[in-house]
Structure 1
């Protein structure tokens, strides 16, 4: 029996994967996949219609034979041909329905996977943002603590300088009273030797 579909059909791959892009799958690629699936379903529908037309043509009454015995045999052969044609048309319809359902299911699954991947990407981005924020807060706390420690050290140093100033009563670099007396002693020694 002659094949009803003229061009070869390729079945969809059961494990179709789409690359993940920011916030989900690439829409253009998913749309292209769905478009190809719809074209295949359309081709199956056209093949089904062609088969139905052929079946309708095959049901045209055959011309009567001259002899009654041949007519009875011819009628039985036509009935068998019609049964085969009906069975073939039914098989083509079932195959087209099945492929259409598979294509729809694959497209729905691709959309669901794209949505799930988008949600997971968003959750991962939120987790990463929270981690970065926590690290920044830790670093800020460390910097504040270091800054406070430096301020405390400077305060201690200022206290020590103030204490030294109070004890010796002079500013650093100023002439001390004891040093002034030492100059007088050296002057008097020099006077005694002359």
Structure 2
């Protein structure tokens, strides 16, 4: 953890624990944000408000929370994680789905008439369904790693491996989320 970075758990008044309920993070953030907001009659502090917002971002997702937790402990976070066979297979699947979705989005963009759009409706439904199913699978994996947070607190080496996996899975999920939004627009 960089010297200028502070412990996000402490900033939000939360216990330093991976297994903290995300609702607790949001509740702590909301309460402190209200107090520190610069528009708060006389008692607002824009620097403090920014610090509180940064702390929330550090804890908001399982991957960010795990990374910050490891940094607090002085663990070196590998920059480049290796893909095991299972992740490599998923990488291929997600890559193919992203390519398929991008191809569909180009067709959708080119379809300017009502008839052209109607012709794409079935394909749109199929692509949307595939994206949502893969996102559901990735979300299950994220939830599975997050469910292991109590045991990861006792094994920092395993926590680092969990972070490596979360990096990929959360990134892929975000990429698919972006494509899903584009499909729905």
TM bracket (short chain): 0.3 to 0.5
**Greater C-alpha Rg:** 1
What TM-score, normalized to structure 1? 0.35
